[in-house]
Structures are given as structure tokens and as C-alpha cells.
Chains A and B, each alone.
Chain A
Amino acid sequence: MVEWQEPLRLAARLTEAKFGLSQQVLGDRLASFLAALSPLDQMHLVNHLTHVPETDPKWQQLVEAMLVHETFFYRHMDQLDVVSREVLPLLRQRTGGAIQVWCAGCSTGEEAYTLAFLLRDAACRGRVLATDLSAISVAEAEAGLYRLRPGLNSFRTMPAHGWQHFDPHPSEPNCWSVATGVRQSVGFAVHNLMTPLMLPMKADLISCRNTLIYFSEDSLRQVEAMLVAASRPGTVLLLGPAERLRYTDVFVPMTDSHPQILHWPLPGGR
């Protein structure tokens, strides 16, 4: 038992140190990933992972196995309604229409595109930068192809007006691609939230919803620092329903309409 648990413990420590992934949440996935390997292979893998950079294919394999890609269009509609109604008009007025949006932890792109849809509907010329740790998910997101599968698909809470941003796939039935105009306004990149963002961007709106829940308590300090580093006074931050910032008090609730819409208050007022 001990020799079987040892690689798991080491792998857990490594993934937490490199990617900040919480073992409390993702430990089962890591365990089942390792369980598929023989004890000897597990030890080999852990030994290998200890000495290679995170761009190594083995790391990618492990990370892909651990990540939970739960996302769909127009998720948390109540929050997005408030964003459309209160936040975007304010940001448009402040930035002159070119709103910089960062979707941190975009998974397969549904959320990033949803934000782009909102920008379009609000007649803003903004751009969305969407990043995720999973290269596969980022590739999928870039393709912008979504299938109307049975069960919990990407369109599960799609409002009727959302369909205007999609074109049907020419050959495959029940397959939709995001309209070209929207796709051009969204850029995707692979990014580990534990490391600095390569583009020195200052976002006007950061959406980091249901992402922080996968980070361990300690690594959140670094992630929150990253979010602050990509912000400036006036930046609005969207969080998921159960999330909160533990280490920074830069962001404060922005509106009474929704508790999970925060912002970095401008000096002297809004």
C-alpha cells in the first residue's frame, strides 16, 4: 500500500506546486489516472515529471486527465444579465467601446464566446483573450465547433437570441460553428494561472468563473496576485457562485444586483 500511495502523493505535490490544482477536488482524477498504470510505471512517471518542464507531453497528458472541462454557453445567466445591463455600458463609456476582456480558464471556449456575444449585443468593439491550461481544450475552442449532443451539451441553457451568433455546419448535422465575426474578436492561448500572463495586458473585464474552485488554498494566493497584476483601477471581475477572493482586498462588490460581480474601485468614486 505504501509504495502504491507514494507516487500518488508525489504527483499530487508536483501538480499542486506547478499548476496549483487542489488535491481535495482533483485527487480522485489523479488517483484514477495513476491507477491505470503499474506501480513501476507510476514511479517512472513521477520521477520523469519531477525533472521535466510543464510543456513536456507527459505533463500535458496528466493535466488533461485532471482538468474538468465543465462549460456551456450563457452559463450563470443571472450574472451575465447584470453584466449586460450595468457593467458593459459603464465600461463602454469609460473605454470608448474598446473593452479588453480576459477569460481566465476558458476550457473549450463557450464562456469566452459568450462574453464576445455580450460585447457584440452591447455594440462594443472589445476583444476577448481566453486562456486555459489545457492545450487540447484551447485547440477545440479555437476551432469554434460545437455539437448539439444529447445530455449536458454546450447549448443546455442557450437563450433563443444566442443562436444568431452561430452558423450551422455545412455537412455535419447538429453541429454549429461560432460566427466568423465573433471568432475574430476572440483570441485563445494556453496559460497556467500560476505564472505571469505573457501579454502585458490590463483587462477591463476579467471573467474567472468556476476556475478558482479547482485551486488549492495556498496556490490561490499566487492566482489572485495574477488577477490583480492583470487589472487596474476600474477593472471588473466576475467570479463563480461559490468563489471568493481570500488574499486580496483590491476587488470589492460592485453592485447590489449580483454579489459575484466585483471591481477595483477607481480613486474617488466609481
Chain B
Amino acid sequence: MFKALKIREKLLLPIVLLVAVAIGSTYVLVDELVQTNAVFESLIKTKLKARFISKDITSQLSEAGRLANLLLLQREPADFNGTAEHLEQTLAKIGPRRDELRSLAPNSDAAINTATLALDAMSRSVKPALELKTARDHDGAVTYWGQNARSALLPALAAMNDTAEQLATAANDAVAAQVASTNDKIRSLVITMAVLITLIAAAALLIVLKGVVKPLNQLTGKITQLSSGDGNFELPEAERGDELGAMGKALLVFRSNAEKIKAAMSAEAVTVEIGEVITQAAQNDLTVRVNLADKTGFLRNIGAAINQLLERSNATLGDINRKTRQVADAVSEASAAVGQVSGGVRAQNTAVGQVSQALAESATAIRMVSTSANTANEKGVVAAKLVERGQLCAEDLLQIVEKIAQNSRKISQITQVIAGIANRTHILSLNAAIEAARAGEHGKGFVVVSQEVGKLAESAAQNAQQITDIVEQAAADAAAGRTASIEVKQTMDSIAGEVSQTSQMIRSIAVSMEEQQAMVTQIETNVVDIRGIASGNAVAAEEITATMIQLSQLATEQRQQLDTFKTN
């Protein structure tokens, strides 16, 4: 509630109080002075007027005394009658003044009575004195006046002077009393005012100290803190409704501005950092990243977005790189393969050409075969006859072989005899050698002979063995020859049967060869077609090869372009 009041309003309260106090005190003061004035006015109207009247009465009385003395001195009737008239007039004035004084100063009855006595004495004494005067009894007049009037005049004058004195003193006292009272009142008023003003001033000071200076100091402290760059403080002042609240709110704005400036300054550094990352990325290095650890706010978002972009570009380029590599490899492989196909198809083309040629040749061959088949048919008949002769020859052959077998057995027996002789000769040569040794010096020549005989026997035995082996082989061969001859004979017999069948078959071959010839002609036309197809394939394959080479170059260039990007 108090905090919601503005400083102006807070200070207005003591000021209003001060003004009220001032107005009140002035009013009281003025009232007091007015009263005093009224008192003075009444004093003047009563006491001082009464004093003046008593003085006036005194002077009238003195005038009357002087006129009476003048009257008494004058000798001429005209003079003393005139003075008597003047004296009567003067006495006539005193009567009303005495009545006025009585009403104004009721306490002075004694003095008034004395004056009345003197007045009455003088008024009564004028006519007798004048009559004495007229009668020219001047001394009598003086004596009469002296006796009747003069004695009353002096106490009256004294009484009137006293009254005047008393009234003056009373007036002085009243004024003094009134001034003292007014002074008292003004003093007390001033003291009250001073106390009030002091209290109000103290209250105002308290208000200023408590409601302005203290929060102002706090705010100043916070502003100082903020100016040093530390915006970390609470600002309850901002919720105040007064000027300090406005200041607090302004400080809040300052703080947010300061934070913004701080953020902007750190943002600049971060922007430069991000810029460097972007520059590096622009130079095809996709491995760089913005360090997000020390960043906040939208720059962090931007950094994250850039990182994401780089990440994706990196991944995509890496992926493209791999795929391009794969494509390049595949294209290169396909290029090689198509090149091989191309070569293969060219070879196939050549081969088909050769087949075509071969087919033409085989057509010729088949024609020749057909002719030959007819010839063969005729030859078949001749062959049958030849086979018959062959049968006879085979029988002769069998007999010859059997004879060879018998001869072989005989040779074998002879060879066994030769082997026995050789054995015995060998033993003899050994004996001869023993005997020759015994003969000593004389047997030396015989030793040589016996050795030669031994060698001979050995050679004979070996030859005999060889002959035995050969003969045994010959016997076995003869047996095989016999079997073969028998087979030949049987074969010849069956050939004889087959030859007639063959003859028949050759005739049918001749027929089918003619059919073949027709078929080969058909195949020849087909092969021409195939050759055309193969040739078309070859051409297409070669164009594909050329295209593949271009593609391969494209893929390689693409790969080289991609390789300029640094990825991971």
C-alpha cells in the first residue's frame, strides 16, 4: 500500500500537513492579534477617552477658574458681562462631559461628585458675583466668589487630575496585560508549530529515507552490479507502484538489454566460429562440426542445424561416394564384360561365318557321299566275293599255325638237350681249371683254355635259355594265332552275312543323303540369318561398349569430384 504510493504523493502528505499547520497557526495568530486589537480599541474608547474627558473637564474647569478671575478683575460692565457669558458657556460644556465621564468611568464617582460640587458652586456663584459687579461692588464680588466658588474649584481640579492619572495607569496596565497574554499565546503557538513542523519533517525524512533513499541505494547497488556485467539479482522493486518501481522496471529493461548485449557480444564470437565452420564446409570439408557445448539460444539452434546439415551432407555424400564408387566399379566391370561380349560376339560372327562355309562344304561333301554310296553298293557285291575267298584263306591259315606250334615243341626239346650239354661242359671246365692249377707252371695255358671253355658253356646255356624263351613265346603266339585264325574264320563267315546287309544299308544311305542335301540347304539359309543376328549383336555390343566407356569416364569424373569433399 505504502509502496504503491509515488514519492510525490508520499512527500505531499508532510507538505500538506506543514501547510495546514502554517495556515492554522497563522489563523490562530491573526485571531489573537485581532482580539488584542479589539482590546486596545475598547481601551482607547473607554479608559483613554475617559482620561481625555477628565483632562478636558480639568482644563474646562481651569478655563472657568481663569474666566472667573478675569471677570472679577474687569470693571467695565461690558467686559465682565461678556466674560460672564463666556464663563457660563464654559460651565455649560462641563455638564455633558461630566455625564460622559460618568458613563465611561463608573469607578470615579467620588471625583465626579467633587467636580459636580465645584461646577454647581461656580454656576450658583456667577449671578450673585455679577450682580455685585453691576452694583460696582467689585470687592464684594471677589469676596463672594472667594467664599462660595473658589474653595470648591481646587479639590475638583485635583480630583479630575487624579482620575485622569488613574485612568491612564489603568489603561497602561490593561495594555501591558493584553500584550503579555498575546505574547504568551504567540509563544505557545510558535512552540506548538515548531514541534509539529519538527514531527512532520521527521516523518518526511523517514519517508524519504525509508521509501526513497533505501530502495534507491539498493537500486544503485544493482545498477552498479549490472554495469559490472553481473545481472544476477532479484528485482522486487520493479513491482512497486512508485517512481522506484518505474526505475526498477527500467532496470529490468536495462538488464534484459544488457543480457541481450552480452548475448549479442557472445553471439558475435559464436557467429564467427560458426562462420569458420561454414567456410571450411564451403571448402568441401564436411568433417567439421560446430561445438555446441558452450552455446545457447538461437545460435545453438543454428549450430545444431548446421551440424545436422553437415551430418546429413556428410552421410549423403558418403553414401553417394560409396554408391558412385560402386557404380564406377560396376560400370567398369560391365564395360569390361561388354567389351568381352563384344569380342566374343565378333568371334561368334567369325565362327558362324566359318560354320556357314563349313555347311557349304558339307553340302558338297554330302553330294559326294551320295555318289559314293551308290558306288559303295556296287563295291559291296565285289566285297562278298572277296569274303568268300577270305574264308578259304582263313582255313589255310589255321592249318599253318598249327604246324608252327608243333615245330615249336620240337625245338623246345632240342634246346633242353643243348642246355644239358652246356651244363656238363661247364662242370668240365671247372675240373680242368682245378687240374691246371695243380699242374702249376705247366698248366697255365690250360687254365686259359678251361676258362674259355667255361665261358663258351655259359654262353651256350644262355643261348639255349633264350631259345627256350623264344620258342615258348612262339608256342604261345601260335596258340593265340590259332585262336585268332579261328576268330578270323568266324568273322569271315559273319562278314559274308553282313556284307549283303551292308549292301542294302548303303542303298538306303544313298537315299537319306539326298534328303540330307535338302536339309543342309535349308540350314545354310538359317545360318545366314544367324550370321546377320550375330553381326547385329556384335554391332550393338560394340556401341554399348563405347557407351560404357563414356559412362565409366563419367563415373570416374563424378568420383573425382566427390573425392574433393572431405567426409568421414
- Residues of A near any B CB (own CB < 8 A): 22, 24-25, 28-29, 32, 68-70, 149-153, 210, 213-214, 240-244
In the complex, what distance in Å separates the CA atom of A32 from the CA atom of B346? 10
On whether the beta carbons of A243 and B343 are closer than 8 Å, the reply is no
- Please count the residue pairs between chain A and chain B whose beta carbons lie under 8 angstroms apart in the complex: 59
On whether the beta carbons of B536 and A210 are closer than 8 Å, the reply is no
Partner of B546, one of A32, A153, A214, A244: A214
On whether the beta carbons of B536 and A152 are closer than 8 Å, the reply is yes
In the complex, residue of chain A having the shortest beta-carbon distance to the beta carbon of B539: A70
Q: Which of B545, B546, B547 has the most chain A CB atoms inside 10 A of its CB?
A: B546
Minimum C-beta distance from B214 to chain A (A): 76
Tell me whether A213 and B546 are in contact in the complex, defined as CB-CB below 8 angstroms, given that A70-B539, A151-B536 are known contacts: yes
| B309 interface contact, C-beta 8 A | no
Partner of B537, one of A68, A69, A151: A151
- Residues of B near any A CB (own CB < 8 A): 339, 342-343, 346, 529, 532-534, 536-537, 539-540, 542-543, 545-551, 554
In the complex, residue of chain B having the shortest beta-carbon distance to the beta carbon of A215: B546
On whether the beta carbons of A70 and B543 are closer than 8 Å, the reply is yes
Minimum C-beta distance from A239 to chain B (A): 10
B532: chain A residues at CB < 8 Å are 149-151
In the complex, what distance in Å separates the CA atom of A69 from the CA atom of B546? 12
B550: chain A residues at CB < 8 Å are 213, 242-243
On whether the beta carbons of A25 and B537 are closer than 8 Å, the reply is no
B542: chain A residues at CB < 8 Å are 25, 29, 68, 70
On whether the beta carbons of B536 and A68 are closer than 8 Å, the reply is no
* Top-3 shortest CB links A-B: A151-B533, A152-B536, A70-B543
In the complex, what distance in Å separates the CA atom of A214 from the CA atom of B545? 10
On whether the beta carbons of B533 and A149 are closer than 8 Å, the reply is yes
B540: chain A residues at CB < 8 Å are 70, 152
On whether the beta carbons of B539 and A241 are closer than 8 Å, the reply is no
B537: chain A residues at CB < 8 Å are 151-152
In the complex, residue of chain A having the shortest beta-carbon distance to the beta carbon of B554: A242
In the complex, residue of chain B having the shortest beta-carbon distance to the beta carbon of A151: B533
B533: chain A residues at CB < 8 Å are 149-152
Minimum C-beta distance from B357 to chain A (A): 16
A150: chain B residues at CB < 8 Å are 529, 532-533
B534: chain A residues at CB < 8 Å are 151
In the complex, what distance in Å separates the CA atom of A78 from the CA atom of B181? 129
Partner of B547, one of A149, A213, A244: A213
In the complex, what distance in Å separates the CA atom of A69 from the CA atom of B542? 9
On whether the beta carbons of B543 and A242 are closer than 8 Å, the reply is no
In the complex, what distance in Å separates the CA atom of A32 from the CA atom of B549? 20
In the complex, what distance in Å separates the CA atom of A32 from the CA atom of B547? 21
Minimum C-beta distance from B330 to chain A (A): 14
On whether the beta carbons of A240 and B343 are closer than 8 Å, the reply is no
Please name 29 pairs of A and B residues whose Cβ atoms are closer than 8 Å in the assembled complex, sorted by A. A22-B549, A25-B542, A25-B545, A28-B339, A28-B342, A28-B343, A28-B346, A29-B542, A32-B346, A68-B542, A68-B546, A149-B529, A149-B532, A149-B536, A151-B529, A151-B536, A152-B537, A152-B539, A210-B546, A210-B547, A213-B546, A213-B549, A213-B550, A214-B546, A240-B547, A242-B550, A242-B554, A243-B550, A244-B554
On whether the beta carbons of B551 and A210 are closer than 8 Å, the reply is no
On whether the beta carbons of B529 and A242 are closer than 8 Å, the reply is no
* A-B contact sample (12 more), CB < 8 A, given A151-B537, A152-B537: A25-B546, A32-B346, A68-B542, A69-B539, A149-B529, A149-B532, A151-B532, A151-B536, A152-B536, A152-B540, A242-B554, A243-B550
In the complex, what distance in Å separates the CA atom of A150 from the CA atom of B546? 24
A242: chain B residues at CB < 8 Å are 547-548, 550-551, 554
In the complex, what distance in Å separates the CA atom of A210 from the CA atom of B533? 21
In the complex, what distance in Å separates the CA atom of A152 from the CA atom of B536? 5
A28: chain B residues at CB < 8 Å are 339, 342-343, 346
A29: chain B residues at CB < 8 Å are 542
Tell me whether A153 and B536 are in contact in the complex, defined as CB-CB below 8 angstroms, given that A28-B342, A242-B554 are known contacts: yes
In the complex, residue of chain B having the shortest beta-carbon distance to the beta carbon of A242: B550
In the complex, what distance in Å separates the CA atom of A244 from the CA atom of B550? 9
In the complex, what distance in Å separates the CA atom of A25 from the CA atom of B549? 7
In the complex, residue of chain B having the shortest beta-carbon distance to the beta carbon of A147: B532
B549: chain A residues at CB < 8 Å are 22, 24-25, 213
In the complex, residue of chain A having the shortest beta-carbon distance to the beta carbon of B550: A242
In the complex, what distance in Å separates the CA atom of A219 from the CA atom of B539? 23
In the complex, what distance in Å separates the CA atom of A28 from the CA atom of B545? 11
In the complex, residue of chain B having the shortest beta-carbon distance to the beta carbon of A243: B550
A24: chain B residues at CB < 8 Å are 549
In the complex, what distance in Å separates the CA atom of A244 from the CA atom of B548? 14
Q: Which of B342, B346, B542 has the most chain A CB atoms inside 10 A of its CB?
A: B542
On whether the beta carbons of A68 and B543 are closer than 8 Å, the reply is yes
Tell me whether A68 and B539 are in contact in the complex, defined as CB-CB below 8 angstroms, given that A32-B346, A242-B547, A243-B550 are known contacts: yes
Minimum C-beta distance from A240 to chain B (A): 7
Minimum C-beta distance from A210 to chain B (A): 6
A69: chain B residues at CB < 8 Å are 539
A243: chain B residues at CB < 8 Å are 550
Minimum C-beta distance from B549 to chain A (A): 6
In the complex, residue of chain A having the shortest beta-carbon distance to the beta carbon of B342: A28
Minimum C-beta distance from A154 to chain B (A): 9
Minimum C-beta distance from A30 to chain B (A): 12
In the complex, what distance in Å separates the CA atom of A151 from the CA atom of B542? 16
In the complex, what distance in Å separates the CA atom of A22 from the CA atom of B540? 17
In the complex, what distance in Å separates the CA atom of A153 from the CA atom of B533? 8
In the complex, what distance in Å separates the CA atom of A32 from the CA atom of B349? 13
In the complex, what distance in Å separates the CA atom of A152 from the CA atom of B541? 11
In the complex, what distance in Å separates the CA atom of A29 from the CA atom of B538? 11
In the complex, what distance in Å separates the CA atom of A241 from the CA atom of B529? 30
In the complex, residue of chain B having the shortest beta-carbon distance to the beta carbon of A154: B536
In the complex, what distance in Å separates the CA atom of A149 from the CA atom of B554? 35
Minimum C-beta distance from A153 to chain B (A): 7
Minimum C-beta distance from B348 to chain A (A): 12
A213: chain B residues at CB < 8 Å are 543, 546-547, 549-550
B546: chain A residues at CB < 8 Å are 22, 25, 68, 210, 213-214
Minimum C-beta distance from B312 to chain A (A): 25
Minimum C-beta distance from A31 to chain B (A): 10
In the complex, residue of chain B having the shortest beta-carbon distance to the beta carbon of A28: B343
In the complex, what distance in Å separates the CA atom of A150 from the CA atom of B526? 10
B548: chain A residues at CB < 8 Å are 242
Minimum C-beta distance from A227 to chain B (A): 17
In the complex, what distance in Å separates the CA atom of A25 from the CA atom of B550? 10
In the complex, residue of chain B having the shortest beta-carbon distance to the beta carbon of A213: B546
Minimum C-beta distance from A60 to chain B (A): 19
Minimum C-beta distance from B559 to chain A (A): 16
In the complex, what distance in Å separates the CA atom of A29 from the CA atom of B542? 10
Minimum C-beta distance from A101 to chain B (A): 22
Minimum C-beta distance from B305 to chain A (A): 29
In the complex, what distance in Å separates the CA atom of A22 from the CA atom of B537? 21
A68: chain B residues at CB < 8 Å are 539, 542-543, 546
A210: chain B residues at CB < 8 Å are 543, 546-547
Minimum C-beta distance from A76 to chain B (A): 12
In the complex, what distance in Å separates the CA atom of A142 from the CA atom of B549? 31
A241: chain B residues at CB < 8 Å are 547
Minimum C-beta distance from A111 to chain B (A): 13
B339: chain A residues at CB < 8 Å are 28
In the complex, what distance in Å separates the CA atom of A214 from the CA atom of B549? 10
Q: Which of B529, B532, B550 has the most chain A CB atoms inside 10 A of its CB?
A: B550
In the complex, what distance in Å separates the CA atom of A243 from the CA atom of B534? 26
In the complex, residue of chain A having the shortest beta-carbon distance to the beta carbon of B536: A152
In the complex, what distance in Å separates the CA atom of A152 from the CA atom of B542? 13
In the complex, what distance in Å separates the CA atom of A94 from the CA atom of B547? 34
